[in-house]
Structure 1
Amino acid sequence: MWGLTQASQMSQGDSHTGENPFQCDLRDERCSFYADYDHHHHNNYHCHCLKNLHYVHPSQTGVSVTCQAFSVDYAARPYRRADVEPSPSLGYSSVGAGVAVVVALLMAFIAEHNLPFSLVDHLVDLMKIMFPDSAIAQGINMHKTKCTEIMKAMANVMNEDLLKKLRMYKFSVIIDETTDLSCTKTCAVLVRFFDLTNRKINTSFYTLFNLYSSSSVGSTGQNLYDMLMESLDNCNIPRSNFIGFAADGASNIMGENNSLTSRLRENLKGITIFRCICHSIHLAASEAAKVLPRKCEDLVRNIYSFFSHSAKRRYEQKEFQEFCNVKPHKILHPCQTRWLSLYQAVARILEQWQALKLYFIEKESELRLHSVQSILEHMRDPSKCTKYFKIRV
């Protein structure tokens, strides 16, 4: 309960200015409250917790106290117990507990949205300005160094909780290889299991293998199998709980012989192997698209390249889109690493076909570029490309 403990009584009738200290009962004892009395019956109240309090003076009906370092007068209103208790909506047993919860939520938000830790240096100060009447906001003291350490501690706790569940429950493993911006090839490992605690299927990040390190070289089936089994053994996770595996169709992972899955089938009897269906569909569509003439895909890429790095050309294109009454959509790029992106790029070209044709007809004489002439040559002869585009692969 919030309250004020009177440390010393001011004698009645005392006309000189004196200091009358009080203690603000915050449970964690991090806040001090005091009042400066003078003979004009005006008080200066100061409290670091910035919490509204109430104190009953022996000779007055009531004193309205605001812990925000500004002067207030005596309030002619009766004393109420609710004035010295925290709002029930807070839901915290103390300010310290509230600060801990807010810090944990803030760390989770930063991690979820991949925000820089340096953001905390400014965000905490902003929260104190935005919520001056909140004891919890004023109690947060954290910068990027402390944020980093708290994040590491939370990660260790969450990882240990995950390992405990993997030792108890059956689980499946999902892996995928990737190369980051620093040209470091890694293998991400996820686990999926049914959590009896919240009674739902969870998919969690397990670990990240560096495929080219002092202990391992390359992404061969043998190397991937050794790293995966060694990780489970080091974490004391029973191999018998490993009942499922899923990955893309790479030969080193899904090959019939000398692959990761061939070793899993040999050493983990009864394991279920899943090949990524989306990856398989993409490969089938890519093979089917090879029957199309090469110039069809070249036309899509050339149109995208013509507009991709010029704000002026995109602005000029909008005029032709308005004239042809088509939506002001951008030209899409058929990316090799994005599944089935060629379909979306072709569909966008067909949508903008008339506007694009009029645009390049005007630019042919103005720019005299080989790229414009090449694009317009294909667009003027529908038999070269449009009959293939209607397939919309």
Structure 2
Amino acid sequence: MIDALMNDREIRRAAESARPGDEPVQTLARAAWSVIAEPGDGVAGALIAQLGAAEALRFGLSDESFGLAEKAVQDGRRRWMPRAHPRAVRDALRGAAEVGAQVLLPGDADWPSAVDDLGDHAPTMLWVRGEASHLAATSRVAIVGARAATAYGDSVAAELAGDLAAGGTMVVSGGAYGIDGSAHRASLGAGGATVAFLAGGVDRAYPAGHQQLFERIRSSGAVLSELPCGAAPTKFRFLARNRLIAALGAATVVVEAGWRSGSLNTAGHASSLGRPLGAVPGPVTSAASAGCHRLMREYDAVCVTNAAEVREMLGIDAAPTADTDRTDPEQVRLLDALSTRTAHPPVELARLSGLSVERTRALLGTLSLEGTVKQEENGWRRART
């Protein structure tokens, strides 16, 4: 197949256009593997690791013997052959060009090396829309949870993601309804970067109701997939996609999950990779939090209640601030009541801090002169540092 791809001028030009200046053989070989093999195919991954993508493609679609792994290779060939059509590779590259998707290969400057921890189950390539440089962020956290999230879950996910993003941590999630969407939106609202892994091609907005959200993510982050353009999301691909979310995140936090939630699959991948795992507690009567409680009980997940505890999981020390040296207890109480993400009116801040409204207004004026707080149209919030 690799020879057919290289000898087809149209397909070769498409590969050269996707990666100008590069020898197209590697692009074509890895694009072909992304077409013929399902995500996480360990047999394909082992062949590529041993032979290189192009030679593995030649061998994988031949009838040559492979010694001790013969049965696994034969089973792989039966999976790959029905999809081994040069036209499918051409269509994938064309689809990427039409939506402006970037082709990212292992070894590229922007390749997220964290996914290499998946070994033979690592992606053969990534199709990216947005700014791929965000994938190299040093501080990354995966925030996942239920699609049918409660108001409590959405609120906690937004608070965690917003505070983390405001502090420079990139938020990784899956672009789904519920907790994923809340985490992405809060990250964007805080001016931070966020990345969404899809279970289908990056030319498809799934779920369709998040079309505008994906557009916003692409403008200040990235939407990516290991599947070629045109690929449809399936149940298996959602589960396979979860391993990439867990691998890219330096830690994974499950905000809300039912007893059998798919988010537990992401948590399992994080645990097997040795990534720190956190879970947000909920009411013991809530079925929506049963999965989180299960993670804390059975998987030794860390109980997470705020962004500072997530930073602790990531090994990030809180930046020293002038608050450490404050001696005025009323200022400390007011600063504790202020959020870096959401502005609150003085009346609400007075209620949260236990101060009078008059005293709250006076302290806000003092802290504003220091640059510690900022006034916005709907209230006051702490200035981001």
* Structure with greater strand percent: 1
TM-score normalised per structure 1: 0.21
Query: What TM-score do the two structures reach when normalised by structure 2?
Result: 0.21
Larger helix fraction of residues = 2
Name the larger-Rg structure.
1
Q: Tell me: higher relative CO, structure 1 or 2? Use CA pairs within 8 A at least 6 residues apart.
A: 2
